[in-house]
Amino acid sequence: MSPSNFLSLLDSQSKLYLGFQDLSTLIPSYLHRLKLCTKHQAPSNAKKIHAQIVKSGLNQCQPLPNTLLNVYGKCNLPQDAQCLFEEMTQRDHVSWASILTAYNLAKLPNKTVSIFHYMFTIDRLQPDHFVYATLLKACASLCALRLGKQVHARFVLSPFVDDDVVKSSLVDMYAKCGLPSIARSVFDSILVKTSVSWTAMLSGYARSGLKDEAMELFLRAPARNLYSWTALISGLVQSGYCIDGCYMFIEMRREGVDISDPLVLSSVVGACSNLAVLGFGRQTHGLVIGSGYESCLFISNALVDMYAKCSDILAARNVFYRMLQRDVVSWTSMIVGAAQHGRAEEALDLYDQMVLAGVKPNEVTFIGLIYACSHAGLVIKGRKLFKAMIEDYRISPSLQLFTCFLDLLSRSGHLNEAEDLIKTMPHEPDEPSWAALLSSCKHHGNSEMGLRIADRLLNLNLLEPSTYVLLSNVYAGAGKWEQMSRVRKLMADMEVKRKPGYSSVDLGKESQVFHAGETCHPMKDEIFNLLKELDAETRKRGYVPDTSYVLHDMEEQEKERELFWHSERWAVAYGLLKAVPGTVIRIVKNLRVCGDCHAFLKLTSSIVHKEIIVRDATRYHHFKDGRCSCNDFW
C-alpha cells in the first residue's frame, strides 16, 4: 500500500481502528450537564465533569470554559472559578462577567473591583453592559461612591448608555451610598422599569428614612412581590420606623403574600426587638414556626435577640438551646443579652461554652463580655478578656471597645489607669468615652480629675442630655458656678430640641403608653393617688427628689412636680394597679430613665415587693428589693 493510500485509509477509518472520535460532538452534552449542576447546586458533579473535559482536551474550547466558570460562580466556589479563569487562554466578555459575578455572589466585592481593570490592561477588552452591572453591584455593597461615580461616567460614554439593567444597578448603587435623589433621577430615566428597578428605588427611599417617598413609590409600583414588601418593611425598620414596618407587615399578611423566604421575618423580629414589644414578638415567633423557618439560623438569632431585648431572658435561652447550630451571632446575642440584664456570671459562662464549642468570638462578643465585667465590678476578669482578645484573637479594639474597657477600669476605681488609657489609646476620645470617665470621677469623688475631664468635654459638641446633667453636677459639686451656668444654658437650648418622652407598660394582653406630663387618662385619679402614696413612703425611706435632672429653669418645688410627672412613674403605677399578682412589670421608655426616677423605682420595688423591669434608650434596669441590676451607673 502506497503511503498516500495508507493516509486516506487512516483518515476515514481511524475512528474504527484506533478508537478515536470527533470529540467536539461531546460539547452539547457537557453544556447540558453543567447547566444541570447550576440548577441543582451540585458543585461536586461540576468538578467531575470538569475532569472529563480536561481529559478530553476540550478545556480551552469555548463555550465550555465559560460555562464551567459560571457553574463554579453560581455554586459559590470563587476559588475554583478563579483558578479556571487564570488558566484560560482566551478570555472574552462572558468570562469577565462570570468571574466578577462569582466574586459578588461570594460576598467578595473587593475582589471584583480590584481585578476588573485587568480586563483592559491585560485582555485589551472594554467593559460591556454585563460588566458594568456587576461592577456597580460591587460598588453598592462597598458603599464606594467615588468609584461608583467613575463607573457611571464611563458607562454614560459607552455604547451601552441606554441599558436599563445597568441603570437599575446605578439606582441601587446611589441608594446604598445614601444619595436617594440621584438614584431617583437615574430611576426616572429608565425606559422599561422592571420589578428590580422599582425595588431598588423603594429600598433606597425606605433605608434613607424617606418614609413618605417610599410609601408613595410602593403604592405607585405596577406590581408587588415578596422582594418589594421585604425592601419596604426592612427599610422602614432600619431607619427607625419600626411601628410602620410592623404595620406594613400586617398589611402584607392581609394581602395573602406567600412567605416563601424568611428574610422579611427577620426584619419584623428585629422591629419587635427595637420596640421591645413582647406580645407581637411572640406572635411573630409563632408565625416563624408556622411557616417552617424555626430551624433557620439567622431567624433564630433574631429571635434570641428579640426575647433578650424584650427582657424575657428565659424565652431567649429556650430558643438558643433548641438551636441545632449556633454561630458567633447566636452566642453573642445571648452574651450581650445576659450582660445587659446584669447577669455577668451567665455571660462569662456562655463565653466559656462558646469557646468549647469552637466558635470564634468577634468584637461584639467582647463588648458584651467587658460590659458584663464592668457592671459586676470584675476588673481582673475583664483585663484578662481584653488581653485575650488582642493576643489570642488578634482583634484590634475599636473606640467603642476602648470606651467599654475604660468604663470597667474607672468604675472599679482605677481612675489614673483609665486616664492614662484614654490618653494613649489609638483613637481620639469622643463624648461617650470622656463621659464614662467623668461619671466614675463623680462616683468616686475625684473632683480634681473630674474638673479636668469636664473642661475637655465642654469643648466637644455634646449630643447626650445625660452628659450635660453629669457636667452640671460635677461643676456644682466643685462650686464652679460660672461653668455650671454655662452648662445650664446649653441644656436649656438643648431641651427645645429634645424629643418628648413616653413609657409603655406591657401587661401581657394589653399595653398602655404614657406620655410625659400626660394628664387625661381614665384612671388618672387612681394613678395619681398611688403615686402620691409611693412618694410619701419613699420619702420616709430616705428618698429626696434630685432636681438636678430637671433641665428647665424653675423653682425647686416646680421641679419636684416636674419629676412627679415623668412617664415611667405613671407607667409603673398603672402596671401596679392592673398587673396580675406574681408577675413582673415591664416598662419600655424611649429616653433614658432619669437618675431621680431610678432612685424612686428602686425604693418602690422594695415597697411593693415586685420586680420592675425598665428598658430605657440605652440599658436595662431590673428593680428588685431596692436594688437595680445596672449597679447604679447609667
Partner DNA sequence: ATCAAGTCGA
Draw the binding track, 22-61, toward DNA (x: CB under 7 A; -: no contact).
----------------------------------------
In the bound state with DNA, the residue whose beta carbon lies nearer, of 130 and 280, is 130
**Residue of 166, 182, 516, 550 that binds DNA (CB under 7 A):** 166
In the bound state with DNA, the residue whose beta carbon lies nearer, of 372 and 449, is 372
Residues 6+ apart with CB under 8 A from 115: 99, 100, 103
Does 235 sit near DNA (CB under 7 A)? yes
Q: How far is the CB of 336 from DNA (least distance, A)?
A: 4
In the bound state with DNA, the residue whose beta carbon lies nearer, of 130 and 351, is 130
CA distance 204 to 206: 6
Q: How far is the CB of 375 from DNA (least distance, A)?
A: 9
Q: Please spell the DSSP secondary structure of 340-392, one letter per residue.
A: HTT-HHHHHHHHHHHHHTTPPP-HHHHHHHHHHHHHHT-HHHHHHHHHHHHHT
Does 234 sit near DNA (CB under 7 A)? yes
Single out the residue of 231, 238, 221, 179 nearest to residue 200, CA to CA: 231
In the bound state with DNA, the residue whose beta carbon lies nearer, of 92 and 526, is 92
Single out the residue of 574, 560, 502 nearest to residue 531, CA to CA: 574
How crowded is the C-beta side of 157, counted as CA atoms within 13 Å?
A: 6
212-220, 366-374, 550-558, 571-579 -> range binding DNA (CB under 7 A): 366-374
Residues 173-192 that bind DNA (CB under 7 A): 176
Does 195 sit near DNA (CB under 7 A)? yes
Instruction: State the CB neighbour count (10 A cutoff) for residue 399.
Output: 16
In the bound state with DNA, the residue whose beta carbon lies nearer, of 130 and 249, is 130
49-57, 281-289, 361-369, 568-576 -> range binding DNA (CB under 7 A): 361-369
**Cα-Cα end-to-end distance for the chain:** 103
Residue with cell 447566636: 330
In the bound state with DNA, the residue whose beta carbon lies nearer, of 264 and 593, is 264
Q: How far is the CB of 23 from DNA (least distance, A)?
A: 21
CA distance 535 to 560: 11
Q: How far is the CB of 255 from DNA (least distance, A)?
A: 16
Q: How far is the CB of 489 from DNA (least distance, A)?
A: 25
In the bound state with DNA, the residue whose beta carbon lies nearer, of 62 and 606, is 62
In the bound state with DNA, the residue whose beta carbon lies nearer, of 70 and 483, is 70
**Residue of 80, 163, 346, 419 that binds DNA (CB under 7 A):** 163
Could you give the strand order of the β-sheet that contains 620-624, starting from the edge strand earlier in sequence? 511-515, 502-506, 585-589, 612-615, 620-624, 627-628
Does 137 sit near DNA (CB under 7 A)? yes
Residue 62 DSSP label: T
Does 237 sit near DNA (CB under 7 A)? yes
Cell of 250: 400586617
Query: Helix crossing, 399-411 with 363-376: angle to 10°?
Result: 10
Does 400 sit near DNA (CB under 7 A)? yes
Does 239 sit near DNA (CB under 7 A)? no
Residues 65-94 that bind DNA (CB under 7 A): 67, 70, 74, 93-94
In the bound state with DNA, the residue whose beta carbon lies nearer, of 297 and 607, is 297
In the bound state with DNA, the residue whose beta carbon lies nearer, of 8 and 79, is 79
Does 371 sit near DNA (CB under 7 A)? yes
In the bound state with DNA, the residue whose beta carbon lies nearer, of 264 and 438, is 264
In the bound state with DNA, the residue whose beta carbon lies nearer, of 92 and 537, is 92
Residues 311-340 that bind DNA (CB under 7 A): 328-329, 332-333, 336, 339-340
Q: How far is CA 278 from CA 263, 270, 342, 509, in A?
A: 20, 12, 20, 10
Residues 6+ apart with CB under 8 A from 163: 129, 132, 133
Q: How far is the CB of 136 from DNA (least distance, A)?
A: 7
Residues 254-273 that bind DNA (CB under 7 A): 261, 263-264, 266-267, 270, 273
Buried b (16+ CB within 10 A) or exposed e, 205-227: bbbbebbebbbebbeebeebeeb
Number of residues located near DNA, criterion CB under 7 A = 81
CA distance 303 to 448: 47
Residues 575-634 that bind DNA (CB under 7 A): 618-619
Residue with cell 405607585: 220
Does 567 sit near DNA (CB under 7 A)? no
**Residue of 58, 364, 490, 507 that binds DNA (CB under 7 A):** 364
Buried b (16+ CB within 10 A) or exposed e, 12-31: eeeeeeeeeeeeeebbeebe
Q: Is 593 exposed, middle or buried (0-12, 13-18, 19+ CB in 10 A)?
A: buried
Cα 585 to chain center, whole Å?
Answer: 28
Single out the residue of 236, 261, 240 nearest to residue 251, CA to CA: 236
Q: How far is the CB of 198 from DNA (least distance, A)?
A: 7
CA distance 457 to 324: 48
Does 404 sit near DNA (CB under 7 A)? yes
Does 284 sit near DNA (CB under 7 A)? no
Residues 6+ apart with CB under 8 A from 384: none
In the bound state with DNA, the residue whose beta carbon lies nearer, of 74 and 569, is 74
Does 467 sit near DNA (CB under 7 A)? no
Draw the binding track, 419-458, toward DNA (x: CB under 7 A; -: no contact).
-------------x--------------------------
Find out whether 182 and 174 touch, Cβ atoms under 8 Å: yes
